[in-house]
Structures are given as C-alpha cells and as structure tokens.
Amino acid sequence: DVKVTQSSRYLVKRTGEKVFLECVQDMDHENMFWYRQDPGLGLRLIYFSYDVKMKEKGDIPEGYSVSREKKERFSLILESASTNQTSMYLCASSSGQGSGELFFGEGSRLTVL
Amino acid sequence: DQQVKQNSPSLSVQEGRISILNCDYTNSMFDYFLWYKKYPAEGPTFLISISSIKDKNEDGRFTVFLNKSAKHLSLHIVPSQPGDSAVYFCAASDLATDKLIFGTGTRLQVFP
C-alpha cells in the first residue's frame, strides 16, 4: 500500500520558534509538494520539488523554506513561526505521469501561539 | 487570480438523492481535472479524474462531466450516502509543470 507519512499530526509552537515538518514517501516518486489548507482558501502550494536537491517556489513561499536531501524525504521549515502560519499542512507526492494525481499524507495541524 | 473556482462553499443533500458539485476554471491549457475528497483531520484522497479530451468519466456512484466550451466541470454522486459527507476539492493539472491547482472546496453534507 502506497504511503506518504508526515512525522507529526499535531504541533503547538510559540511565535519565533523554528519548526520542522517532515514528510516521507515510499513510492519512489520524483515529485513532492507542500500545501497548506485554510478554511475558505482551499489548498495552496507552498513549495515543491522535482528531484533531490531541487526546489521550486509555489504560490505562497514567504516565511517557509524546504529541504530535499533524499528522494523519499521532503522537509518544510518555518524559520520563525508566526501566528498566521497556524494551519493544516499537507505533504504530497506524485510520479509526474498520467493525470498528475497527488498522494497526500494525513496532514500536520500546526498551532502557533 | 483564482484559476480553479468552486463557488458553492457548502451543499446539503438527502440520502439517496443526487449530489452535484460544480467547478469552474479559467485556463484552457489544463490537461486533467481531478476530484479529491477530504475528511476532517485527514489528508485528501483521490476520487476520480477526467482528461481534457473527454467529456464524461464514470466510476461506480461517481461521474464527472466536463464542458470545455463553458470551462466547467461537475461531479455527480448517485445515490448519495451519509459516508459521502466531506469536503470535496476540484483540481486542475498542468502536466507541463506537474502541479495541481485546487479550488476552495465544497462541504457536502448528506443527511438521512
């Protein structure tokens, strides 16, 4: 069974803290993505990666960075968390073939106080 | 500029009846359109897709219709079941960039 695993389901952090969200996929997919989901705004793309060491900005990259040192792992980093980064964060991967279907992890609910 | 729009934030349907969820898009270069279903505290799961060269795709109780001239697609669920209650996201795929662009979602509630 294919799987995208996000390391933390729920996190509570304080303003200014550095936050790491980890994501691992076991499908040998080339592409990996980080989205955030907010009520009324849908899923918005933060960053994505087509290959190891590669990264591309999505629609809302400000305040975030990413790291992809290995093909199966894609990390999202909040250098200095702020309250407006309280959100549900979703990692996804795709093979880049067919319909472009994404496989999502279960999400990480981050609350910044 | 929102390229994929779901103008109805919520929909309530009685069990056994048809649910119709709508989606509009602006970019005629999209290659595929996909529907995802999302329960609270879970990641979205793929439901059904349609290629831009087709106008209908059916999978069990789920059918997606594509009207390219109107840049409109819809998801039909027949018959609706209480377990279908979730948020449904429409997404469009640009295979040149390997990105999915999502709509804002429609919350479907199916009541007995």
pLDDT tens digit at each of 112 positions of chain B: 679 999 999 999 999 999 999 999 998 889 899 999 999 888 999 999 999 999 999 999 999 999 999 999 999 999 999 999 999 999 998 877 778 899 999 999 999 9
Please say if the pLDDT value at position A97 is more than 80.
no
Please judge whether A43 and B32 are an interchain contact, meaning their C-beta atoms are less than 8 angstroms apart. no
C-alpha–C-alpha distance, residues B79 and B77, integer Å: 6
Please judge whether A102 and B46 are an interchain contact, meaning their C-beta atoms are less than 8 angstroms apart. yes
pLDDT classification of A1: cutoffs 50, 70, 90: low
Q: Which residues contact A39 (CB under 8 A, 6 or more apart)?
A: none
**Are the beta carbons of A74 and A6 closer than 8 angstroms?**
no
Residue A11 near chain B (CB below 8 Å) = no
Please say if the pLDDT value at position A95 is more than 90.
no
Task: Kindly list the residues from chain A whose CB atom is less than 8 angstroms away from the CB atom of residue B34.
Answer: 99-101
pLDDT classification of A71: cutoffs 50, 70, 90: very high
Please judge whether A40 and B46 are an interchain contact, meaning their C-beta atoms are less than 8 angstroms apart. no
Please judge whether B93 and A42 are an interchain contact, meaning their C-beta atoms are less than 8 angstroms apart. no
Structure tokens at B104: 């804002």
